């Protein structure tokens, strides 16, 4: 009987290890790229700025600024850090605290240049992301860090006007 118990424990441990590896593949960093690109948009005029907070047990920190320069609109990320995961993207939203699918669906998906798999949010540090034509930037009141695969918020920043 003791031998069966021991074999059961060993077998269970192997199953947990294999299952844990599969779960780790979903939620641990795939490839995060740390960048520092502080000088690109020095002449940009900021519209709004916010600080990130984590959501749903994920860690997201740093600040984001929505700005405009002679070449158009951009997001400036400063000291940005986030929990890595699959299909995590940045969204500009009209909602100030975007943490629902409806808020993200009302927003604009921002593909990060150099992000994994065609624009995922995998850059860390300080960097600038140019935006496609977003129309009136004052309609955006929040930035969501959102996992498309699991429809889950990772973090958000409320954009307050810069005076």
pLDDT digits (tens, 9 = 90+) for 10-23: 444 444 444 444 44
23 and 45 assigned to the same domain: no
**Residue 38: which pLDDT band, with cuts at 50, 70 and 90?**
very low
Name the least confident of 61-65, 115-119, 144-148: 115-119
Q: What is the pLDDT of residues 70-113, one digit of tens each?
A: 999 999 999 999 999 999 999 999 999 999 999 999 999 999 99
So what's the pLDDT on residue 1? 54
Q: What is the DSSP letter of 139?
A: G
12 and 65 assigned to the same domain: no
Average pLDDT over residues 131-138: 88
So what's the pLDDT on residue 4? 54
Closest CA to 128 of 31, 32, 44: 44
91 and 138 assigned to the same domain: yes
Predicted confidence (pLDDT) at residue 9 exceeds the cutoff of 70: no
126 and 144 assigned to the same domain: yes
Give the three-class secondary structure for 11: helix
Average pLDDT over residues 144-156: 97
* Pairwise CA distance, residues 147 & 163, whole Å: 32
24 and 103 assigned to the same domain: no
104 and 143 assigned to the same domain: yes
20 and 92 assigned to the same domain: no
Question: CA 16: distance to chain centroid?
Answer: 29
Range of the domain at 80: 33-161
What pTM, to 2 d.p., does this model score? 0.78
Q: Give phi and psi for 61, each to the nearest 5.
A: -145, 170
**Residue 24: which pLDDT band, with cuts at 50, 70 and 90?**
very low
Q: What's the CATH number where 124 sits?
A: 2.60.40
Average pLDDT over residues 104-128: 94
Beta bridge partners of 82: 60
Q: Which residue shows structure tokens 């299909």?
A: 87
DSSP result, 112-133: PTT-HHHH-S-EEEEEEEE---
141 and 73 assigned to the same domain: yes
């Amino acid at each position: 009987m003791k031998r069966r118990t021991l074999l059961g424990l060993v077998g269970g441990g192997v199953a947990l290890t294999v299952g844990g590896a599969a779960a780790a593949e979903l939620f641990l960093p795939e490839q995060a790229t740390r960048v520092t690109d502080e000088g690109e948009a020095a002449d940009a005029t900021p519209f709004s700025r916010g600080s990130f907070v984590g959501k749903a047990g994920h860690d997201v920190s740093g600040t984001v600024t929505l700005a405009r320069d002679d070449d158009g609109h951009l997001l400036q990320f400063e000291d940005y850090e986030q929990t890595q995961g699959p299909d995590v993207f940045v969204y500009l939203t009209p909602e100030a605290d975007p943490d629902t699918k409806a808020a993200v669906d009302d927003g604009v998906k921002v593909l990060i240049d150099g992000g994994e798999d065609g624009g995922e949010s995998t850059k860390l540090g300080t960097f600038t992301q140019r935006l496609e034509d977003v129309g009136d930037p004052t309609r955006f009141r929040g930035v969501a860090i959102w996992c498309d695969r699991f429809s889950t918020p990772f973090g958000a920043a409320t954009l307050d006007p810069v005076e």
